[in-house]
């Protein structure tokens, strides 16, 4: 009886046609507004507000100082130099290639860590974060011992293939990838470990083997995490200093990236150093803002759908 009458209105409107598409739009708008509204009506207690303000000031003041002391008048000249353009181009180029390498081999590693039943899985998980916590100079030394001309692997690379890594642009990529990959792996492995694996079950019942399920379900659904990891990875690679200068040296045009150029300029021409820093800051801000707009709504949508 009750279910009969309840079905009446649903029948009258048809199979959800008019209500269907409008509902989700409203819901999506509400979700978008949700974050702002929550922040607005949440009263922050002062024991949290005070340290938070200090932390924010601490993080922002040095950047503000950079802006205050910037030699704005001479800026066009300083940045117009070909050596600056060269360093910037090299930095962006190597960081991008390093990020590509990290995605290509780091995502599979993340999958193995998150999903496989390898015996030494937890040990691997701990080891891959080592480059993250070690001083980058130590990373550079380690790279030299492995891939240097007399390094364990480097010697054979040199003897058999004539490939030399240290003090080359490829060496810069190697150093950056080595230091930055953990950011990507940790981010993606975390997403894969917490992902709802029943979607892979669903893919299996539709005839997809594990590789196909990974390609068409797992990876696309982890897309936002991969993107976030790649952005972190790229930013870390762009700012890489210690391992690069140790393993690849500081040769203008081939291995002198922006951070190296800044450090060098600081000793000879502080104004140039500030200008270069400003440029690096601008590049980072532009990239982060662009990617946030591109990826964060997607990330939120996926997590909401889950």
Residues in touch with another protein (CB under 8 A): 1-4, 6-7, 9-11, 15-17, 19-21, 23-25, 196, 198-199, 201-209, 212-213, 216-217, 220-221, 223, 301-302, 304-306
Burial class (CB in 10 A: 0-12, 13-18, 19+), 290: exposed
CA atoms within 13 A on the CB side of 203: 19
In the complex, minimum distance from the CB of residue 194 to another protein, in angstroms, rounded to a whole number: 15
Check: CB of residue 269 under 8 Å from CB of residue 83. no
- Of 30 and 156, the one with the shorter C-beta distance to another protein is 30
Taking the C-alpha atoms of residue 21 and residue 17, their distance in angstroms, rounded to an integer, is 7
Taking the C-alpha atoms of residue 294 and residue 223, their distance in angstroms, rounded to an integer, is 12
Taking the C-alpha atoms of residue 22 and residue 277, their distance in angstroms, rounded to an integer, is 48
- Of 15 and 45, the one with the shorter C-beta distance to another protein is 15
Task: Name, in order, each residue with C-beta under 8 angstroms of 250's C-beta and a sequence gap of 6 or more.
Answer: 256, 260, 264
Check: CB of residue 200 under 8 Å from CB of residue 258. no
In the complex, minimum distance from the CB of residue 223 to another protein, in angstroms, rounded to a whole number: 7
- Of 152 and 296, the one with the shorter C-beta distance to another protein is 296
In the complex, minimum distance from the CB of residue 248 to another protein, in angstroms, rounded to a whole number: 39
- Of 201 and 269, the one with the shorter C-beta distance to another protein is 201
In the complex, minimum distance from the CB of residue 296 to another protein, in angstroms, rounded to a whole number: 16
- Of 208 and 266, the one with the shorter C-beta distance to another protein is 208
- Of 222 and 274, the one with the shorter C-beta distance to another protein is 222
Q: Which DSSP string do the residues of 273-297 spell out, in sequence order?
A: HHHHHHHHHHHHHHHHHHHHHHHHH
In the complex, minimum distance from the CB of residue 297 to another protein, in angstroms, rounded to a whole number: 13
Taking the C-alpha atoms of residue 298 and residue 295, their distance in angstroms, rounded to an integer, is 5
For residue 114 the two structure tokens come to 């998150």
In the complex, minimum distance from the CB of residue 212 to another protein, in angstroms, rounded to a whole number: 6
């Amino acid at each position: 009886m009750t279910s009969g009458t309840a079905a009446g209105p649903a029948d009258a409107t048809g199979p959800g046609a008019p209500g269907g598409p409008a509902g989700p739009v409203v819901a999506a708008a509400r979700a978008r507004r949700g974050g702002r509204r929550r922040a607005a009506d949440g009263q922050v207690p002062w024991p949290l507000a005070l340290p938070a303000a200090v932390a924010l000031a601490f993080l922002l003041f040095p950047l503000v100082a950079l802006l205050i002391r910037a030699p704005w008048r001479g800026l066009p000249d300083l940045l117009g130099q070909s050596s600056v353009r060269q360093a910037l181009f090299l930095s962006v180029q190597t960081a991008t290639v390093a990020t590509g390498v990290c995605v290509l081999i780091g995502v599979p590693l993340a999958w193995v860590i998150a999903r496989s039943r390898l015996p030494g899985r937890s040990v691997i998980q701990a080891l891959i974060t080592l480059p993250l916590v070690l001083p980058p100079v130590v990373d550079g030394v380690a790279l030299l011992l492995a891939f240097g001309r007399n390094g364990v692997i480097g010697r054979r690379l040199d003897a058999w293939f004539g490939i030399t890594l240290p003090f080359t642009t490829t060496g810069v990529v190697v150093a950056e990838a080595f230091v930055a990959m953990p950011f990507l792996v940790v981010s993606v492995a975390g997403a894969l470990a917490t992902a709802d694996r029943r979607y892979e079950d669903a893919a299996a019942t539709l005839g997809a083997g594990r590789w196909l399920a990974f390609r068409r379900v797992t990876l696309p659904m982890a897309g936002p995490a991969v993107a976030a990891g790649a952005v972190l990875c790229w930013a870390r690679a762009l700012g890489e200093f210690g391992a690069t200068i140790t393993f690849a040296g500081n040769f203008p045009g081939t291995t002198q990236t922006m951070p190296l150029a800044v450090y060098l300029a600081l000793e000879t021409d502080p104004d140039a150093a500030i200008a270069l820093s400003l440029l690096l800051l601008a590049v980072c801000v532009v990239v982060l803002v662009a990617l946030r707009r591109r990826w964060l709504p997607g990330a939120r949508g996926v997590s909401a759908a889950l």
